[in-house]
Amino acid sequence: MQYSEQFTNIKENKTSGILSEFAEGFNRRFNIFGLELMNNI
């Protein structure tokens, strides 16, 4: 029982890690895009 709980936690941690990495990358791209937009205006 405890093993499956640990496994679920590991899966959730991996998923949230991937999501936060994706969000970070998205924010970085969005910031760069926003800066370029500001410079063009």
- Indicate the domain borders of the chain: 1-41
Long-range pairs of 13-22 with CB within 8 A, sequence gap ≥ 24:
none
pLDDT at position 8: 85
Quick one: pLDDT at residue 1?
A: 59
- pLDDT for residue 13: 87
The confidence score (pLDDT) of residue 24 equals 93
Q: For position 39, what pLDDT does the model report?
A: 86
Give, for all 41 residues of the chain, the pLDDT tens digit. 577 888 888 888 899 999 899 999 999 998 888 888 888 86
> CA-to-CA distance for 39 and 5, rounded, in angstroms?
51
